[in-house]
Amino acid sequence: MVRYTGFSDLMNRMAASSADKAAFLVCDGDGQLQAIAWSAFSKRVALRADALASRNCACEAVLADGSLECVVEVFAAVEAGLQVALVDPAMPDQVAAPLLRSVDADCVWASSDARHEQLEKLLVPASAPEFGAHGVLFFTSGTTSSSKAVVLTDESLMASAFNGSSLLPLSPDDTLLCMLPLSHVFGFVCGLLWGLSCGATVALGRGMRHYADDLRVFEPTAVALVPKLLEYLVARDALNERLKLVLVGAADCPDSLLGAVRARGIRTSLGYGLTETSSGISLSIGDDFHAMTICPDDAVTIADDGEILVSAPTCLMQGYYRDEAKTASAVRNGMLHTGDKGFLDNAGLLHVEGRLKDVIGLPNGTKVFLPEYEAAVSEALGERDVAVLLDRGMLTLVCGQIARERTDRELMEAVDSAMATYPPGSRIARIVRLGHALPRTAAGDVERWKIQEELENDNC
């Protein structure tokens, strides 16, 4: 595998050695496939970088819609020496604008001229960007706290791609389908840079409306997916015949789903990583989906309380943007405190058990692992849109959109049955119905902090 030092290094070396090789594959409005060679891509990036350098801008917010134009813009902005912040294009303006101001964005790229103009009107940068050239910022979307801007670099992102490729290499004959949002580091690294760094062709998907169609149209040999998207594709029997490798990440995935893909003769790997480490930390490359090999540049130790601590010198974030306190709390003596719980087996393979913050203490001193309770209740009810949290000192079941009509009494009877083997003082005591789907991250994990805020504000 080749270790690239940044986006420019990748482009220059590929344009020199594989000028006519297809870097990207896109589908136009008529359904025709078009290949973009490395030479053409590099020229487009260079022209756009010159245009950006001539503007008096320092930090560009890119509404990362996954198009070829978007990829060109990100590479060009880095080439031009701008700080770049990648933003989910589905985010409403009233939500996006404060985030962009928080990272001192003074210009915006969007595929829509109207959206571009509207957001630029809302930008009021208070000062020059803190990081500047080569800074690539991603906003976290966690289950236990609101978004934080994580400062990465094109160097750390390319190092992460090298890390993953060392364990799951692609060949120049492969086609990697990019289906995930580029505003999330897993999508950017594993949906884009993984393929490019291996010399494979990256097929740029056309978004949600074409999820199933894109597998048929592009006929990829590899794809990176989050569990919810994999479930959707398996349910529609959409995995194409040429597909030989599926990488699943960003959230835990049921063994039954992973097994269903493997049963089709498709190599299936589960990955673990964080935005703070430029994505991948470990990958399952053997028979056990949950026994993961640690990436070559990283080292993992387990703290006394079970927390996973990571040393990732080539991939570690520069910090949280303008938040020295949170950065110092997360990174101590060069080790990232992940907030995740896990263990290393006798072979040195990493097993991730969940978030430490998902372990709560009840007033009676009992420790409860919330995901375990949610799985038991979900199975008993036959419902997926449920969450368990501590509210008013009681373990509370929060129901979002549930399929079957049930009274609270019927729900509690089912819950009591699921909790029958648990100690009496650590059972679910209360049910709350939100009346809408539970808030979730892009990977499908429940955002308990948002539910907690809603309960407090509504005095449920």
- DSSP characters over 99-149: HHHHTT--EEE-SSHHHHHHHHHH----SS-SS-TTEEEEE---SSS---E
pLDDT in tens, 119-129: 888 887 667 88
Q: What is the DSSP string of 352-388?
A: EEEEGGGEEE-TTS-EEEHHHHHHHHHHHHT-SSEEE
Q: Which two tokens stand for residue 82?
A: 């701008």
**One domain, residues 347 and 370:** no
pLDDT value for 442 = 63
**Residue that is last in its domain, among 324, 352, 380:** 352
Same domain, 339 and 409: no
Phi and psi at residue 93, to the nearest 5°: -55, -40
Q: Pairing relation of β-strands 394-399 and 386-391? A: antiparallel
* pTM of the predicted structure, to 2 decimals: 0.82
Together in a domain, 116 and 216: yes
Residues 169 and 239 in one domain: yes
Radius of gyration of the chain (CA): 23
Domain boundary among 352, 384, 404: 352
Which residues form the domain of 389? 362-458
Q: Do 429 and 380 fall into the same domain?
A: yes
First to last CA, the chain: 55
Cα–Cα distance between 371 and 356 in angstroms, integer? 11
Residues 54 and 121 both lie in one domain: yes
pLDDT attached to residue 144: 42
Q: Which residues of the chain have pLDDT under 70?
A: 125-126, 141-146, 361, 363-367, 442-443, 459-460
Cα 116 to Cα 123: distance, rounded to the nearest angstrom: 11
For position 262, what pLDDT does the model report? 94
pLDDT of residue 143: 42
pLDDT at res. 145: 45
What is the overall mean pLDDT for the chain? 90
pLDDT for 367: 67
Q: Are residues 157 and 66 in the same domain?
A: yes
Residues 322 and 436 in one domain: no
Phi, psi of 309 (to 5 degrees): -110, 135
* Residues 190, 160 contacting (CB under 8 angstroms): no
* 3/459 Cα distance (integer angstroms): 54
CATH of the domain at 400: 3.30.300.30
409 and 271, same domain (yes or no): no
Query: Cα separation of 152 and 76, whole Å?
Result: 16
Residue 442 and residue 343 in one domain: no
pLDDT score recorded for residue 364: 61
